[in-house]
Structure 1
Amino acid sequence: MKALTTVFFALLVCVACKAPKEDSPIEVAFSPDAEHIEEINTECFRYVGNKDTVLLATHIDGTNITGTLDYALFEKDKNSGTIEGVIRDNRIIAEYTFMSEGVASKRQVVFKNTDEGWKEGFGEMKTVDGVPVQVNIDSLDYTHKMALTPIPCD
């Protein structure tokens, strides 16, 4: 009887070890699938020309977008900040919160995906609740040469 109990216990241990394993939250967070999804949803873009540089790093979650946006335009104050908004009709429409000369500011930015790359749209602006926004997003001018093209994200 003692031998039968030992065999039964050994069999029970073997079956228990074969049960489906639940991943810990840490394993799930660092799984290759999670890293791959993060990589797919993160994109970086840059414009360099005429002593100007613009860098845009985006993270896309459905139609929502967040990221960073940095301007280093020749003979102008450097702006560095974050964007938060949506992607709609082949455009990024976002609020840009940035620092320039130690002062925090906000304004709306709109980028359109063109054949040349992402181009910022310019047009008449008005202030709504203290934030400059475009009067008419559908009539913005994208004819300038400053197109942000894809680059590897660091």
Structure 2
Amino acid sequence: MKKINVSSRKWALLFMLGLACNNPQQEAKPIAAAEDSAGKTENHIMIPAGGCYAGQSGRDSFFLKAEVFPNVVTGKLTYRFHEKDKNEGTIEGVLKGDTLIADYTFVSEGKTSMRQVAFLLKDSIAIEGHGAMEEKDGKLLFSNRDSIHFNEGIQLHKVPCGE
């Protein structure tokens, strides 16, 4: 087995991180673990893909931040309705092809609620999906995921993520 010196390993890790940061459309992938001369394996570093999206409809505005990992999508979702309480919360779900299905846990009017949301992610647009929903165990869930439609949903456009 070829011995890797510490400075070469650090340079390679920084190079891989630099490549990953310069490609925002990448899939989330772990960086390969390196083994040092003592035989210890370093931890994997997960670099999420994803992005931020914003949209407006009349005086209402919307914001989605999605971080895509290999097995889960997490992030934040905010609906700011004009002259109404905003809905602000977190998402956790899965990306199947170009469709995100997530549980949206949010606070509105001082009450915490959960409902499923769906977004079609294509090019630089996220389109919210709609469909029949039913309540199960205090959560609103899509009755049939195959019947979700995206033709009338709000459109969010990719924007730089600001913290």
- Conserved 8 A contact 2:88-2:107: yes
Give the alignment partner of residue 126 of structure 2, picking from 118, 121, 132.
Answer: 118
Stretches of structure 2 that go unaligned for 5 or more consecutive residues are 25-48
Deviation at 1:69, TM superposition (A): 0.3
How far does the alpha carbon of each residue in 1:9-42 deviate from its partner, in whole angstroms, 9 at most, with x for none?
xxxxxxxxxx82279xxx89x9564476467314
TM-score, L = length of structure 2: 0.69
Tell me the amino acid that sits aligned with residue 99 of structure 1: V
Higher helix fraction: Structure 1 or Structure 2? 1
Q: How many residues in Structure 1 have an aligned counterpart in Structure 2?
A: 133
1:150 aligns with 2:158: yes
Could you say what secondary structure the match of 1:44 adopts?
A: strand
* TM alignment of 1:4-153, pairs within 5 A: 20-21=5-6, 31=14, 33-34=16-17, 37=20, 40=24, 41-114=49-122, 117-144=125-152, 146-153=154-161
Match of 1:16 in 2: none
Tell me the amino acid that sits aligned with residue 125 of structure 1: M
Could you list the runs of 4 or more consecutive aligned residues of structure 1 that deviate by over 6 angstroms after TM superposition? none
- Conserved 8 A contact 1:106-1:131: yes
Deviation at 1:115, TM superposition (A): 6.7
| Separation of aligned partners in 2, 1:66 and 1:146 | 20
Deviation at 1:49, TM superposition (A): 2.9
Stretches of structure 1 that go unaligned for 5 or more consecutive residues are 1-18
| Separation of aligned partners in 1, 2:93 and 2:110 | 24
Deviation at 1:130, TM superposition (A): 1.6
- Conserved 8 A contact 1:47-1:55: yes
**Larger Rg: 1 or 2?**
1
| Separation of aligned partners in 2, 1:76 and 1:116 | 29
Q: 1:37 to 1:66 in 2, by over 3 A?
A: farther
| Separation of aligned partners in 1, 2:131 and 2:62 | 19
Aligned residues: percent identity?
Answer: 33
